[in-house]
């Protein structure tokens, strides 16, 4: 058996899974997107760009997704990085495992239950009621972009913490000691040593959170109350309520294309940043 044959055999299970579970469904959706809605719902085979011409009708869903998904990713990063840095660098090994478990604990509960908890906290009997009691009246939090942003940060924060924690935990502490011995202040050590070496974790965490947020459905549906909805909510409405599979497929294909373009630009930027870091370290 040749090396090429062995390689093909080893790749066959993963390749088959990738083909059946990803390529074929996306191909079906792409074909549907050029069809027309059947009178009773579903799709009629055709070749028309009418569905793509109607995309502006769902602009609000795309606007909310393309605004709140990057904002939620950035906010999660700003919260997760100090937490991951504290767990990886400042905490003793004896307490590190305990604190990591506490970060995981929210994942032990259904996201549905956690979202309903936020509905109560952000609703009229929660935080707004407390604000009314101290004299700040008329504050409305639930069914707003703020409530959706809070929900997605809370829901996806652990996915941002762990990749960054792994990068920082593997950081050679001797580099920090060397920078200190050479007279570098703590902020300079962080900027020139810690932050560049944690970029792979940042890239992984941002990628995980952003991709999942682009397809988010439950949190906007519960905390947005039908007033702040993502593309995922629009797809549920098109496929299950109005049964306009052709239009829904066009929206889904457009979302995938937007994600591919965004992720490609992001990875290009990360690679350029890594190359610049390597050039500086060589100099």
Domain count, the chain: 1
108 in any annotated domain:
yes
For residue range 140-177, list pLDDT tens digits in order.
899 999 999 999 999 999 999 999 999 998 887 788 77
Q: Are 193 and 118 in contact (CB under 8 A)?
A: no
Q: pLDDT, tens digit, for every residue of 65-91?
A: 999 999 999 999 999 999 999 998 888
- The answer to the question of residue 76 being in a domain is yes
**pLDDT for 6:** 86
Q: Examine the pLDDT at 178 and tell me if it is beyond 50.
A: yes
Residue scoring higher pLDDT (275 or 75): 75
The domain of 153 spans 64-228
Residue 37 lies inside a defined structural domain of this protein: no
Instruction: Determine the Cα–Cα distance for residues 65 and 52; give it in Å rounded to an integer.
Output: 18
Q: Give the model confidence (pLDDT) of 94-140 as tens digits.
A: 888 888 888 888 888 888 888 899 999 998 888 988 888 888 888 88
Q: How far apart are CA 215 and CA 152, in angstroms?
A: 12
The answer to whether residue 27 sits within a structural domain is no
Question: What pLDDT is stored for residue 95 in this prediction?
Answer: 86
Looking at the domain assignment, is residue 283 inside a domain?
A: no
Closest CA to 210 of 148, 135, 156, 140: 156
Domain-embedded: residue 248: no
Question: What is the phi-psi region of residue 225: left when phi exceeds 0, alpha when psi lies from -120 to 50, beta otherwise?
Answer: left
- pTM for the whole structure: 0.87
What is the CATH classification number for the domain harbouring 120? 1.10.3720.10
- Structure tokens that stand for 199 in this block: 């970029």
- Judge whether 145 lies within some domain: yes
């Amino acid at each position: 058996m040749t090396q090429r044959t062995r390689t093909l055999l080893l790749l066959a299970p993963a390749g088959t899974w990738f083909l059946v579970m990803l390529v074929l469904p996306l191909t079906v959706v792409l074909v549907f997107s050029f069809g027309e809605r059947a009178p009773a719902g579903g799709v009629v085979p055709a070749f028309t760009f009418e569905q793509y011409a109607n995309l502006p009708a769902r602009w609000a869903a795309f606007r909310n997704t393309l605004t709140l998904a990057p904002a939620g990713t950035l906010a999660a990063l700003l919260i997760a990085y100090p937490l991951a840095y504290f767990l990886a660098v400042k905490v003793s090994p004896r307490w590190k495992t305990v604190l990591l478990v506490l970060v995981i604990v929210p994942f032990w509960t259904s996201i549905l239950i956690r979202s309903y908890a936020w509905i109560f906290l952000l609703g009229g009997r929660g935080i707004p009621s407390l604000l009314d009691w101290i004299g700040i009246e008329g504050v409305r939090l639930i069914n707003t972009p703020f409530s959706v942003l809070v929900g997605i940060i809370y829901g996806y924060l652990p996915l941002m913490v762990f990749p960054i924690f792994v990068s920082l935990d593997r950081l050679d502490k001797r580099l920090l000691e060397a920078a200190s011995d050479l007279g570098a202040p703590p902020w300079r050590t962080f900027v020139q040593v810690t932050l560049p070496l944690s970029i792979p974790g940042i890239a992984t965490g941002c990628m995980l959170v952003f991709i999942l947020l682009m397809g988010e459905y439950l949190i906007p549906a519960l905390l947005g109350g039908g007033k702040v909805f993502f593309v995922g909510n629009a797809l549920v409405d098109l496929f299950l309520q109005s049964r306009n599979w052709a239009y829904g497929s066009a929206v889904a294909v457009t979302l995938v294309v937007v994600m591919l373009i965004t992720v490609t630009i992001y990875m290009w930027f990360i690679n350029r940043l890594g190359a610049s870091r390597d050039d500086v370290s060589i100099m």
